[in-house]
């Protein structure tokens, strides 16, 4: 559903790009995977299509990781 494009210096939030035709809402909880393994959980903070900002609730995130529901 999307890809991590940027991670804050303190790793507390990310900017992700949505896949075409994909929608998220503020407050949605999403899973981040790296090499098909879950690595983090996000909570959507703000949506500005085609991107969204999300707080990192758990785990660690890297640029290029995949965001799933």
Q: Where are the domains of the chain?
A: 2-68
What's the whole-model pTM score?
0.93
Transcribe 9-45 into DSSP letters. TTSSEEEEEEPTT----TT-EEEEEETTEEEEEEEEE
- Report d(CA 56, CA 22) in Å as an integer: 20
CATH architecture of 2-68: Beta Barrel (2.40)
Q: What is the pLDDT of residues 9-46, one digit of tens each?
A: 999 999 999 999 999 999 999 999 999 899 999 999 99
Residue 31, both tokens: 């899973």
Q: With bands split at pLDDT 50, 70 and 90, how would you rate the model's confidence at 5?
A: very high
Residue 8, both tokens: 């804050």
pLDDT at 42: 98
């Amino acid at each position: 559903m999307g890809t991590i494009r940027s991670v804050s210096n303190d790793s507390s939030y990310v900017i992700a790009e949505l896949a075409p035709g994909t929608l998220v809402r503020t407050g949605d909880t999403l899973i981040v995977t790296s090499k098909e393994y879950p690595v983090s959980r996000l909570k959507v903070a703000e949506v500005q299509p085609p991107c969204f900002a999300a707080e990192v609730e758990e785990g660690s995130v890297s640029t290029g990781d995949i965001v799933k529901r």
